[in-house]
Structure 1
Amino acid sequence: MHEVKITMLGPSGVGKTSLLTAMYEQFESNIGRTNLQIIPDLESSAILQERLAELKSLPDSFETKGWMSSTENYRSFLFELGKKGSKPSLNIHFQDYPGEWHESKSSLENKEMIESFIKESAAVIIAIDTPALMEKNGQWHTKINREQQITSLFKKAYGDLDSPRLVILAPVRCEKYLQSAESTAELLRRIKEGYAKLLDLLKVENLRTKVAVVVTPVQTVGTVVFSRIEMIDGKPHFVFRKTSHDAQYNPQDSEQPLRYLLRFLLRLHLDTRQWKFFNFLRDWLGLDNDLKRAVYEFANGCKTTGGFVLLQGETLLNNPKS
């Protein structure tokens, strides 16, 4: 079976696994309108079910690191994608890892593994802790999101890039900042400012035609908003609250990163150039028009407004039928 790898990139506590959980849960909900199906392997299914139960049972007020379990070891999440009623034809391999690997106390081997994940992945989803970026004028952004270290990882991993890649900036826990056109515009401004060095790197001559960059805000719970920062022993604790006592789990737009991924792959399939990294696309979609049509239908649902914006690489993400 053909395989495409995706790296969930981000330090400890930013919500990588919760983002992946919401992506899968909403993908299942939205994909039902197409002829596609996605099937997690048994281990992935069990882990995601446990995380989904946590997300659905959040208390009225909580601090994410104290409530949500953290990833303790490297793990792969494997999903098989294909037509309904047919043998799956693509393995989507998400690479998740403990966010502590970014810290100075972590081994060099672990840091090099993150770099290798980025290098071998068709797409990288950067989970952004939005309150850390937005609150107190971004006072805790560098400490929590570690954007300079992430930029350094891309400098090494993309140093000799020979095939296109997709980079998705995914603000999570962003419900508070999408309430109006003004607050949404401010969120986008702060992302561009907070990740300016990374975005400048990806714009250099050798990369700007090979790397597509998109912002996809994901409301991983949908009914939870940032409340306040409590300082305990000199450390910030970000407290969230549910919008009401009986508010139910209701994620918004969490399938969008996968829509963009499939749009990216479909666009490359139709590209006449030969990209060694993506040779499998010729076989995956080349002989199955029904599958290609189903992928197009799902990928065509990519949002481009309301906080969603294509920053770079339009030719790698434009309408596959255009």
Structure 2
Amino acid sequence: MMQIFQWIKRMLSRIFQGKSEPIQTLKITMLGSSGVGKTSLLSAMYDQFDQVIGKTNLQIKPNDDPTRVIIDQRLQELKSLVGNTIKVTGGVPRDTKSCSFLFDLGKIARSPSLRLHFQDYPGGYIDSQATSEQIKTVENFIRESAAVLIAIDTPMMMEMKGKWHDRFNQPTRIRNLFKQAYENLDTPRLVILAPVKCEKYVQNDKDANELLANIREKYATLLDYFGSDELLPKVAVVVTPIQTVGSVFFSRVEMQDDEPCFYFVKRDPDSFYQPKDSEQPLCYLLRFILRLHLEKRRVPIINSILNIFGKDVAFKEAVLDFTGNCKSTGGFAVIQGANLLRIDGK
């Protein structure tokens, strides 16, 4: 009888411990102006995850109702794009507070192993009218995040010789934010440059290489900063073009009241919502984290996350399988920090 009692006690203890152990959270800052496509990128990532990499035995799902509502609403908007004069707009309004998107990641049919906390903010927080408090808020987001995803409005950068790029993509302000946030940086970080709405510019290698060359040119001062002696060993920088809708291509620019209006078109009226490569930022992010684990680095802001891979071997193997899909050609590139992303010599 005593043995049975002790066995029941041990089982209850294990169950209790399993339920009480908090899920670890990985912070990622979404950086970019209002309307650039940050929420659309997250929506595409979530919607296409199972279809693209479901074979790796991983799953992702929204953690809370606000995330689920916003993502579902944006997905409906993207899937309903029709006609020859599509104007893609959106973003977090200027008069709202910063918001979070929470996704849980784990093995299929098991409790999630990792929570992804994507931090967004109103576009006005980084424009010329922003207050010092708003700017400081974004700087803190960047400082506290293991990774930063910079969404780039590709037509704004590519069309009319990039006439509207500085105003809408704000590369100078973004560089200044990093200069403050990465001052005295002592732990590795990942920066992902993600051109969105880029369907027109990645249909062949020539165009994709031109897109990559434009990023190197238009973000030269930011890349030079990351390539400084202090940051070069600590910051990995990658470019991951995301075809946000897949079936909608940039068409033309029209001026209305001295403001540019960018229009898009479906080349095939019967085509449907089919984003491409939306999983790549997450693929690189997990590869970066897994590499730090394999190096046994001590990284205070993500130490608890690195421990997950040591405790959950099945999750580690699924992540390792997934991160083998990182692309590096066709507009994709590792700008610097390849050593922070290399696994098994690859």
TM-score greater than 0.5 by the shorter chain: yes
Aligned equivalent of 2:280: 256
Alignment of 1:18 with 2:40, yes or no, is yes
In structure 1, distance between residues paired with 2:48 and 2:32: 21
Which is greater in Rg? 2
State how many pairs are aligned: 319
In structure 2, distance between residues paired with 1:160 and 1:226: 41
Q: Choose from 38, 44, 59 the match for 1:37.
A: 59
In structure 1, distance between residues paired with 2:300 and 2:174: 26
Contact 1:268 1:281 in 2 (8 A): no
Aligned equivalent of 1:87: 111
Aligned equivalent of 1:288: 312
Q: Choose from 65, 89, 92 the match for 1:71.
A: 92
In structure 1, distance between residues paired with 2:129 and 2:302: 36
SS of equivalent to 1:32: helix
In structure 2, distance between residues paired with 1:99 and 1:160: 27
Aligned equivalent of 2:215: 191
Query: Could you tell me how far 1:154 is from its partner in structure 2?
Result: 0.4
Alignment of 1:8 with 2:30, yes or no, is yes
In structure 2, distance between residues paired with 1:290 and 1:232: 55
User: Mapping of 1:165-180 within 5 angstroms?
Assistant: 165-180=189-204
In structure 2, distance between residues paired with 1:154 and 1:190: 21
Aligned equivalent of 1:163: 187
In structure 1, distance between residues paired with 2:76 and 2:200: 23
SS of equivalent to 1:279: helix
Aligned equivalent of 1:201: 225
In structure 1, distance between residues paired with 2:126 and 2:312: 42
Aligned equivalent of 1:212: 236
In structure 2, distance between residues paired with 1:98 and 1:160: 27
Which blocks of at least 5 consecutive residues in structure 1 are unaligned? none
Aligned equivalent of 2:77: 54
Residue identity in the other structure for 2:263? V
Alignment of 1:110 with 2:134, yes or no, is yes
Query: Could you tell me how far 1:275 is from its partner in structure 2?
Result: 2.1
Query: Could you tell me how far 1:31 is from its partner in structure 2?
Result: 3.4
User: Mapping of 1:131-142 within 5 angstroms?
Assistant: 131-142=155-166
Deviates more, 1:105-114 or 1:297-306: 105-114
Contact 1:26 1:254 in 2 (8 A): yes
Contact 1:270 1:320 in 2 (8 A): no
In structure 1, distance between residues paired with 2:306 and 2:159: 46
In structure 1, distance between residues paired with 2:321 and 2:344: 10
Q: Which consecutive aligned stretches of 4+ in structure 1 deviate over 4 angstroms post-superposition?
A: none
Query: Could you tell me how far 1:134 is from its partner in structure 2?
Result: 0.7
In structure 2, distance between residues paired with 1:264 and 1:292: 13
Residue identity in the other structure for 2:210? E
In structure 2, distance between residues paired with 1:279 and 1:268: 10
Deviates more, 1:147-156 or 1:275-284: 275-284
In structure 2, distance between residues paired with 1:106 and 1:189: 31
Query: Could you tell me how far 1:320 is from its partner in structure 2?
Result: 4.8
TM-score, L = length of structure 1: 0.96
Aligned equivalent of 1:224: 248
Deviation per residue, 1:141-177 (Å, 9 max, x gap) = 1011110000000000001111110000000111111
Which blocks of at least 5 consecutive residues in structure 2 are unaligned? 1-22
Q: Choose from 140, 146, 149 the match for 2:170.
A: 146
Contact 1:267 1:320 in 2 (8 A): no
Deviation per residue, 1:69-104 (Å, 9 max, x gap) = 331232111111122222212111001111122222
In structure 1, distance between residues paired with 2:47 and 2:183: 35
Query: Could you tell me how far 1:282 is from its partner in structure 2?
Result: 3.8
